[in-house]
Amino acid sequence: MPIRPILKFGHPVLHAPSAPVSDMDGEIRQLFDDMVATMYAAPGIGLAAPQIGVPLRVIVIDLSVGDDAKQMIKLVNPEFVERDGEQHEEEGCLSIPGFGATPKRPARVVVKGLDPEGKERVYIGTDLLARAFCHEIDHVDGLLFVDRLTPLKRDLLKRKLRKKARSGDWEE
Ligand SMILES: [Zn+2]
């Protein structure tokens, strides 16, 4: 289970929509293994395939960061079935180390997708889990949390991030 480097803001793979997975094969299972290893090593509570340079609609979420196997979520081609309410909480991203912001997110989501065996799964998420689903599905749509801020905050933060990206000098 190799740990892969996590791409940072400014890398083109992070800013373009990823492709749906058409075949559930050994490569996808290997990708899940690498994503989980990379997420735990960071450590983080979620990771999307484009963050390790693979432009496919694959996400992993584990709010327990490895403490509770029941909390592991591995989804291929995730999509929203429902989005209700509103919440505003601080968010960070492994691809934007050292920065945080408070994007508007739904309070509750219902998400469906395929698990690594190709079986359909439906998850209901509230609070942190709802935010995690939104954050990771944004990643496979080529969006980062900065893209969800109000125009003023977004432009200000993006200016700083573009400067960081040019220097390549990210805090880890
Ligand atoms: Zn992220």
Instruction: Say if CB 96 and CB 158 are below 8 A apart.
Output: no
Residue 107 Cα to ligand 1 midpoint, Å, equals: 18
pLDDT at 1: 65
pTM assigned to the model: 0.96
116 CA → ligand 1 middle, Å? 21
Residue 126 has which token pair? 């509230």
pLDDT tens over the chain, length 172 residues? 699 999 999 999 999 999 999 988 889 999 999 999 999 999 999 999 999 999 999 999 999 999 999 999 999 999 999 999 999 999 999 999 999 999 999 999 999 999 999 999 999 999 999 999 999 999 999 999 999 999 999 999 999 999 999 998 887 6
DSSP 114-157: E-TTS-EEEEEEEHHHHHHHHHHHHHHTT--GGGGS-HHHHHHH
Instruction: Compute the distance from residue 48 Cα to the ligand 1 centre, in Å.
Output: 7
pLDDT of residue 169: 83
Rounded to the nearest angstrom, the distance between the alpha carbon of 22 and the centre of ligand 1 is 24
pLDDT of residue 170: 84
What's the burial of 67, exposed, middle or buried (CB within 10 Å: 0-12/13-18/19+)?
exposed
Spot the catalytic one: 27, 91, 120, 136.
136
Distance CA 93, CA 148 (A): 13
> How many Å lie between the centroid of ligand 1 and the Cα of residue 15?
12
With contact defined as beta carbons under 8 Å apart, do 101 and 153 qualify?
yes
d(CA 88, CA 151): 16
Q: What is the largest CA-CA distance in the chain?
A: 44
Known catalytic residue at 117: no
